[in-house]
Amino acid sequence: MSRPLSPAAQAVLTELTQQEYGLGPADIPREAARMAALGAIALRAAADQVLPANSPLDRATWSPFAGQIRSEVLAIADELQGRANE
């Protein structure tokens, strides 16, 4: 049995499956795994666009919360990728 997703990761996965199939992830586990992988890819791309990991900007110029937000978004992506790999 898989470990439960955090509320944030569950919300992302539920929104993806609702938008694509009109069903919750539990109703379509195989497709939910595929959607989790796609969601992880999209979140990583968004994080890199908003706050690149190798930005030429000095990290000291970022908002105090920018790095934390990036980390949280990437943590959700990691959870979704983990679900996709189960």
Please name the residue that has the structure tokens 């969601």: 39
> pLDDT for 46-60, tens place per residue?
998 887 777 666 556
1/81 Cα distance (integer angstroms): 16
**pLDDT tier for residue 37 given thresholds of 50, 70 and 90:** very high
Spatial CB neighbours of 85, under 8 Å, sequence gap ≥ 6: none
Predicted TM-score (pTM) of the model is 0.86
Q: What is the mean pLDDT of residues 63-80?
A: 88
The burial class, CB within 10 Å (0-12 / 13-18 / 19+), for 40 is: buried
Q: What is the mean pLDDT of residues 12-38?
A: 97
Q: Is the pLDDT of residue 82 over 90?
A: yes
Q: Is the pLDDT of residue 22 over 80?
A: yes
